[in-house]
Amino acid sequence: MATGFEVSREGSLATITIQLPGKVNKINAEFGRGLADAWAQTAGATGVLVVSGHKDFCVGADLDMIHAQTDPAAVLELVRSLDQLLRMIETSGVPVACVLAGSALGGGFELALACHHRVVVDDPRVTLGLPEINLGVIPGAGGTQRLPRVIGIQAALDLLLQGKLVRGNKAVAAGLAHQSARTAEDAVLLAKAWLEQAKPRSDAAKQPWDRSGYVWPGISPQGADARNTFMAASAMIYKKTAGAFPAAEAMLSVVQEGSRLAFDGAVDVEARAFARLATSGQAKDMMRTFWYHRTAAERHEGLPPAPRDAGIRKVAVLGAGMMGAGLAGICAQAGYEVVLRDVAAPALEAGMAHVVKGIGERLKHKSPEERSVVISRVKASSDIADLDGTDLVIEAVFENAELKHRVIREVEARLGPSAIFASNTSALPITGLAEASVRPEQFIGLHFFSPVEQMPLLEIIRGAKTSEQTIARCLAFTRAIQKLPILVNDGYGFFTTRVFSAYILEGAQCVAEGWDPVLVDWAARVAGMVVPPLQVFDEVTLRLGDHALSQAEAYRPGIAGLPGAQLVKALVGAGRIGRAHGAGFYEYVDGRRGGIWSGVAALCAPRVSTPAPVEQVRMLGERLLLAQVAETLRAWDEGIVTRPQDADVGAVFGIGFAPNTGGPLAYVDRRGAAEVLDRLQSLAAGHGARFAPAPGFVKFVEAGRRFYA
């Protein structure tokens, strides 16, 4: 028997228990051989039950194996062998059931789909699905063909194209499982009961698509409804991805093509597409950032070890705006006692309303009593005495150094000797703010991103005197509130704000030079950016951008005089402050974005009309990416960010840098550092010093180095 697979007998029923070495079951070459060997050991059984000896059923493919593969032919051979094994099992004439007592993801769920009967534990912690698109690939073991045949084309596309996961308590209603049970033991009993009544070589031992007279659930792939569905999905994909994510287009293509073929041919269509995508540079870079580096950040690898008890029980949030209220809510949800302080009563009232609404939405699966307990942990107050006994203060007041200094002095006087003071400033140097502190070693930057309830990243900024113990305690807090940390050194704008500011400023700069604003935003989408620069400028407000550019002038002389910065100032002067105020680069009607404001052109240079539109899009998109790459390289050269993975995780998860590239430094490696250097030097000559390559990067290229092996 292969390691990790055990076959037991109970009368005429056989049970295959999958328990690979380690903590989880992952699909690799050994998995296929082990499953084939285990299946052979079930010969003569009238029914087979597949269960996991680990907490989860199977978490999918071993990414180490996939990430290392560069030969499409070798990958195709791997997936075809697994496809053949799954087809052998599901067409053997023996009824097969599986128990999903833990999560079944990717290839693990594809194995479950190949079983004739699925019983899931009714638990929201159990998740089922095919999330491969989030790593730049598609399912490779029949998932794109089985799922539409199980739940219908429309429902399957909704899950496949977004990589959605379905919780165990909703799996039966979604059609992903046949039965649910309260416990794993009950699930086994249900599965065995089904096997007892299922007859070998009966319809119960066949997949629906292998039975005569099979009718697709929902719409038929041969009809007009299917054609309309695929056309609408194609338009939706292009609107969402602008063609920057080939996996989405491949997913739709294999579902459509496969739906019109016999099942074995359909699975082979998927296998060929998977092999092509899995060996692409884009998939490799996305896997590295979205899996390896994100997982390392979640585990705090390479960071000061967080203590078991950080001594943080009570958290105070200063400022009851959207950010402060959001922070109060997630801290309360993590079990902390929270004081939400503001000097303005209307702000406190609005802040508490935000807390109540947010907790209600996030904990909607809980009882009203449980939600009330969480809400009761937050106290809205203008009384500074309520801060007594606070272990961690998070300051989220307006971006003004004098105001922040005043708040620091006032609040620190109320704090105990071990309390930490953290600033949520997005740009002001932590070392400068700590000058107002009597304990600069316990002063730190915790830069959250808006909306804080949804954005995963937390940028932790080490001031000149911040102690390792303070960092470690804040990392424990980070884990408690389930945020993804990167640790950076101090300097104006730290890392993420510098890169984000370079992006939106370059968008405004392009418009000021006479480029069509619509073209500028579209070029960013085509390059892979999550949100276009002018749209996101409106979201953060042009007034805040103008204020930030004025502040930045002290650190980057000349930046406030750029035509793009002057355009922003002119828009603010015209009362066009941003989306929240109903007017910015775009027009807004009842909060809904319309077209670009017609008056923008009058504030800019004459409209540029050459080169051809396709080339304009390519050129502008490259420029918007390289503006961020140049700033990333400067931050790296200056020691603000010291690890390439922190730069890529921070840029992708914090500011939406083109996920299709894996991040700015992954982009440099994939394109080639020498070519990037050449383009930056060319752009610097044509557009200014903001594109000038960092001195350290020039040496980096001369040495023939890469950021990743």
Burial class (CB in 10 A: 0-12, 13-18, 19+), 602: exposed
DSSP state string for 616-660: HHHHHHHHHHHHHHHHHHHHHHTTSS-SHHHHHHHHHHHH---GG
DSSP state string for 345-362: HHHHHHHHHHHHHHHHHH
Q: Cα–Cα distance between 383 and 472 in angstroms, integer?
A: 30
Among this protein's residues, is 553 annotated catalytic?
no
Residues of the chain with pLDDT under 50: none
Q: Which candidate in 90, 132, 395, 506 is catalytic?
A: 132
Beta bridge partners of 681: none
Q: Cα–Cα distance between 191 and 200 in angstroms, integer?
A: 15
3-state secondary structure of 335: coil
Question: Can you give the residue ranges of every domain in the chain?
Answer: 5-279, 314-491, 497-639+672-702
CA angle 298-301-306, nearest 5°?
80
Q: Which candidate in 10, 30, 110, 395 is catalytic?
A: 110
The four Cα atoms 518, 522, 524, 529 give a dihedral, to 10 degrees, of 130
What the block records as the tokens of 327 is 């922070």
Cβ proximity of 284 and 307 under 8 Å: no
CATH architecture label of 497-639+672-702:
Orthogonal Bundle (1.10)
The residue assigned the tokens 């579209």 is 522
Cβ proximity of 241 and 248 under 8 Å: yes
Q: Tell me which residue of 392, 370, 408 sits closest to 313, measured CA to CA.
A: 392
Query: 142 CB contacts (<8 Å, ≥6 apart)?
Result: 83, 86, 87, 110, 113, 114, 267, 270
The pTM of this model reads 0.92
Cβ proximity of 174 and 166 under 8 Å: yes
Q: Cα–Cα distance between 254 and 659 in angstroms, integer?
A: 23
Among this protein's residues, is 90 annotated catalytic?
no
What the block records as the tokens of 203 is 């319809």
Q: Convert the pLDDT of each residue in 215-259 to its tens digit.
A: 999 999 999 999 999 999 999 999 999 999 999 999 999 999 999
DSSP state string for 558-577: TGGGSHHHHHHHHHHHTT--
Question: Which CATH fold would you assign to the domain 5-279?
Answer: 2-enoyl-CoA Hydratase; Chain A, domain 1 (3.90.226)
- Structure confidence at residue 2 (pLDDT): 63
Question: Which CATH fold would you assign to the domain 314-491?
Answer: Rossmann fold (3.40.50)
The residue assigned the tokens 């923008």 is 600
- Structure confidence at residue 611 (pLDDT): 74
